[in-house]
Amino acid sequence: KPLVPILNRPLLGIIIDQLRAAGVERLAVNTHHLPADVATFVEEHAAGMETRIFHEPEILGTGGGIKNTESFWNDAPLLVINSDILTDINLAEVYTYHSSHDCPVTLVMYDCRRFNSVKINPRMEVMDFSSRGKPLNPGERILTFTGIQVIEAGFLDHFPPGISHSIDTYMRLIRNGGAIQTYIPQNRFWRDVGSLQDYLRIHRELLNREIILERVVPSMTGPIVSGTSLRMETGARIDGWACAGDNVVIKKNGRVQNSVLWD
């Protein structure tokens, strides 16, 4: 999924560019499926950054995958971002906000009714991760964890080795009296694009200018975008919205409508 293109740009490339713009100089990427393809892309696209690939023959989970990169980090907090999201959240602001409080973890939250499940108290601290549909007290909110977080390097000691899930580690911290801070961006966009339905939806919204993300992807001038060397044979046509990659051929009398065609 990290290499799936959004308007002909691999999603991982978009994220790496955002990390670079935020001042990130060292990049760790964990891999499982098609690891050589991901590693090659990172080597080519993250030029100038110190990078390391951490391959997981067996998926280690949301906590184990972070723990597995522990040897790469120094004492600075690390910023973690999922690779199947599209967002214009300012990552530098997230990192700066983390340094303004004493909690070991900052989770970036977003109001997405479809996924809202994390309960937050009036001090913007996480109370629970499974509160969907449960009653709230005054000042409490239910929001979605975006997959973006900042973690103190020393806190990685709390993640168990091997397969683990970060929510389990965070709930142990909360039950033991610790706190996890949240950051809630204002006037920003976030979307999970990790399913086929959501992948097509984001293309429709971008190409029809239902959403505009000029900080992340170029502003669309029309509902059709193509890469290099698009060839349309006699009678071929494109209707509605469409994104075509490099060297796409639409054969004689072929019709493409509301579709994404890869290279």
Assess whether pLDDT exceeds 80 at residue 207.
yes
Residues 116-126 have a mean pLDDT of 97
Q: What is the pLDDT of residue 36?
A: 98
Confidence of residue 160 (pLDDT cuts 50, 70, 90): very high
Q: What is the pLDDT of residue 176?
A: 97
Q: What is the pLDDT of residue 68?
A: 97
Assess whether pLDDT exceeds 80 at residue 136.
yes
Confidence of residue 84 (pLDDT cuts 50, 70, 90): very high
Confidence of residue 199 (pLDDT cuts 50, 70, 90): very high
The answer to whether 241 touches 223, Cβ cutoff 8 Å, is yes
Q: What is the pLDDT of residue 253?
A: 98
In angstroms, how far apart are the furthest CA atoms of the chain? 70
Q: What is the pLDDT of residue 218?
A: 81
Whole-number mean pLDDT of the chain? 96
List pLDDT tens digits, range 218-253. 877 889 999 999 999 999 999 999 999 999 999 999
